[in-house]
C-alpha cells in the first residue's frame, strides 16, 4: 500500500491505530530504586503522549536477573504489575494505546545490579567493549557467565511470565526487545555468541532463543499484539555479525511464519546515521509480511517519505516525543518543535519529563 500519510489510520491486527506515528521505547530512569516500579510521574508522562498511534514503553525487565541499569522498571512482581496498571489506565483514559517492551540486558550489566553480587549472563563469556552506568559513574560491563541450556529455558519462561503480567496490567500488547546489544541480540550476533550447542553456530541456532521467546509470549497475547525490535547493522553495545543480511532474513521469515503483528526495525546506527550500508531493508519487509515500523532518527519529512513510498507502515519518533508531548498535533500543523534538554534525559523528576509545554493543544 502506497500513498499513505502520517495521519492515516492503521489496523494492527484487531488494534485500531488513529495515526501511523509510534512513540519509540525510551529509557528515562524515573522509577523508585529498589522497587523497580513506575511512579505517578511515569503515568503522567505516557498519558501526555497518548495521541500517538501507539506508545511503546521503555524497556521493562522480565526478571531480577535481567537488570543492568539504575532506576529502570520491571514487570515480574505484583507491586510492579499494579503500578503498570495505573500507567495503562491513565493512557487508556486519555484515548491512547500502549505496549510494554520486554527486556533482559544479558551481559550488559554489573554484579551490583544482581542478587548475590553475581556475574551477569550471556550466550558466551565474551565481555562487551561498552559502558554500563552505575549510581556514581560508568564502567565496562562485567565479564558474563555463559548460560546453561537449562538457564536459557528459564529465561524463556521469564519472558512468558512477563507477557502474562503485561496482559494482567492491561497493556494492549508487547514488544520483545531484540536489539541494541541486549540478551536476544547477543545470541543473534556471532560477534557475541561463540556457543557450539543448539543455541550457537548456525544462524538457525543463534536465532533459537528469540523464536522460543516469541512462542512463549504468543501463548499469553494474540500474535497480532506482539512485535519484536531488531537492529540488523547497529554496533551499539559492541554488536557485530559476519553476515547480518542472511541472519535477519532468516529471523524475519520465522517471525512472519509465527504471524506476529510487527517488527520495529532500527535502520542504521542507533542514535546515529541512517546509512544502511549493504543491508536490504526492503527485502526484510517483504519476507516478514506483517507491519513494518521504521525507526531511528526520523523527522517529519523522512517519516512522511517512508510512508508515501510504501517503505514502512508505521514510523517511530524518540527524542521528538521527549520534548513534545503533543508531537502528533505539532506534526499535523507543521509547527515548531520544542528542543529536548539532554541533561534531563536520564534520572530526576518532572523536569524534562512531564513539564514540556503543550501550547499547540491548548
pTM: 0.97
Q: What's the domain count of the chain?
A: 1
- Asked if residue 298 belongs to a domain, the reply is yes
Residue with cell 505539532: 330
Is a pLDDT exceeding 70 seen at residue 1? no
For the segment 87-121, what is each residue's pLDDT rounded down to a tens digit? Answer: 999 999 999 999 999 999 999 999 999 999 999 99
Q: Quickly count helices (H) and strands (E) in the chain.
A: 11, 14
In a domain, 1, yes or no: no
Alpha helices in the chain (DSSP H): 40-48, 78-93, 149-168, 183-188, 203-206, 208-217, 244-257, 281-288, 300-308, 319-323, 327-333
Q: Stretch 201-214: mean pLDDT, rounded?
A: 98
pLDDT band at 362 (very low <50, low <70, confident <90, very high): very low
208 in any annotated domain: yes
Q: Does 360 reside within a domain? A: no
pLDDT in tens, 12-29: 999 999 999 999 999 999
Domain that holds residue 318: 10-344
Q: What is the pLDDT of residue 34?
A: 81
- 231, 109, 226, 91: which is closest to 160 by C-alpha? 226
**Residue 274 has what pLDDT?**
67
Mean per-residue pLDDT of the chain: 95
Is residue 221 in some structural domain?
A: yes
The CATH number assigned to the domain holding 333 equals 3.20.20.70
Range 67-92 average pLDDT:
96
Quick one: what percent of the chain has pLDDT higher than 90?
91
Q: Do the domain assignments include residue 50?
A: yes
Compute CA distances 45 → 35, 55, 136, 353, whole Å: 19, 11, 26, 6
Q: What residues are labeled active site?
A: 182
Amino acid at each position: 500500500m502506497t500513498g499513505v500519510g502520517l495521519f492515516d489510520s492503521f489496523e494492527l491486527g484487531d488494534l485500531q491505530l488513529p495515526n501511523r506515528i509510534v512513540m519509540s521505547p525510551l529509557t528515562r530512569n524515573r522509577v523508585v530504586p529498589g522497587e523497580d516500579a513506575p511512579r505517578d510521574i511515569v503515568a503522567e508522562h505516557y498519558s501526555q503522549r497518548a495521541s500517538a498511534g501507539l506508545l511503546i514503553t521503555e524497556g521493562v525487565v522480565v526478571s531480577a536477573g535481567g537488570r543492568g541499569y539504575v532506576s529502570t522498571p520491571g514487570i515480574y512482581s505484583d507491586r510492579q504489575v499494579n503500578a503498570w496498571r495505573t500507567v495503562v489506565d491513565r493512557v487508556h483514559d486519555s484515548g491512547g494505546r500502549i505496549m510494554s517492551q520486554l527486556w533482559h540486558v544479558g551481559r550488559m550489566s554489573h554484579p551490583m545490579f544482581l542478587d548475590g553480587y553475581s556475574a551477569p549472563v550471556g550466550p558466551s563469556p565474551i565481555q562487551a567493549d561498552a559502558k554500563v552506568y552505575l549510581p556514581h559513574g560508568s564502567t565496562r560491563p562485567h565479564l558474563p557467565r555463559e548460560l546453561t541450556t537449562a538457564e536459557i529455558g528459564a529465561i524463556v519462561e521469564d519472558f512468558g511470565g512477563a507477557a502474562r503480567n503485561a496482559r494482567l496490567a492491561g497493556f494492549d500488547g508487547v514488544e520483545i526487545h531484540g536489539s541494541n546489544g541486549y540478551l536476544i541480540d547477543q545470541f543473534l550476533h556471532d560477534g557475541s555468541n561463540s556457543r557450539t550447542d543448539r543455541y550457537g553456530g548456525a544462524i538457525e541456532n543463534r536465532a533459537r532463543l528469540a523464536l522460543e521467546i516469541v512462542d512463549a509470549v504468543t501463548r499469553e497475547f494474540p500474535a497480532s499484539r506482539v512485535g519484536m525490535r531488531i537492529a540488523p547493522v547497529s554496533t551499539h553495545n559492541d554488536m557485530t555479525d559476519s553476515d547480518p543480511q542472511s541472519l535477519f532474513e532468516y529471523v524475519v521469515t520465522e517471525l512472519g511464519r509465527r504471524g506476529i503483528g510487527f517488527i520495529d526495525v532500527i535502520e542504521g546506527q542507533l542514535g546515529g546515521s541512517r546509512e544502511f550500508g549493504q543491508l536490504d531493508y526492503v527485502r526484510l519487509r517483504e519476507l516478514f509480511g506483517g507491519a513494518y515500523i521504521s525507526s531511528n532518527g526520523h523527522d517529519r519529512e523522512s517519516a512522511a517519505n517512508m510512508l508515501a513510498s510504501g517503505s514502512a507502515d508505521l514510523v517511530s519518533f524518540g527524542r521528538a516525543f521527549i520534548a513534545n508531548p503533543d508531537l502528533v498535533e505539532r506534526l499535523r500543523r507543521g509547527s515548531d518543535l520544542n528542543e529536548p534538554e539532554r541533561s534531563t534525559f536520564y534520572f530526576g523528576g518532572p523536569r524534562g519529563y512531564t513539564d514540556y509545554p503543550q501550547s499547540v493543544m491548548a
